[in-house]
Amino acid sequence: MSYDKNNIFAKILREEIPCKKVYENEYVLSFYDINPQKKIHVLVIPKGEYVDLEDFTNKASDKEIVEFNKAITYIVKMLKISNQEGGYRVLSNAGKDAGQEVPHLHYHIFGGEKIGRMVF
């Protein structure tokens, strides 16, 4: 899967499509999923053009990688779903067999209720 500069997340980053922001910094944007699967369902995306975790790990700067991971921790605390407050799940699909639909690295954060089994 190659990066598509016209994918929905690229359009959100360019502010061509609105989103309900949760958090943003120089490296990361987080926003509520438009089709939530749990009580809390937010997406976290890097601002750089990365298809999936493998692409991100191979091409992103160390600063981008660290800031992306720090943002996830900050967001779960901000949403009051950290493991001290009930817990959360982080999920990322990579490639067609995993069901990746948008060719831009994105993590789903689920929380706010009991999530259940990992694989359905």
Catalytic sites, residue numbers:
106
Residue 39 CA to residue 77 CA, distance in Å, equals: 16
Please state, in angstroms and rounded to a whole number, the distance separating the CA atoms of residues 38 and 29.
Answer: 20
Q: Is 82 exposed, middle or buried (0-12, 13-18, 19+ CB in 10 A)?
A: middle
Which of 35, 13, 37 minimizes the C-alpha distance to 25?
Answer: 13
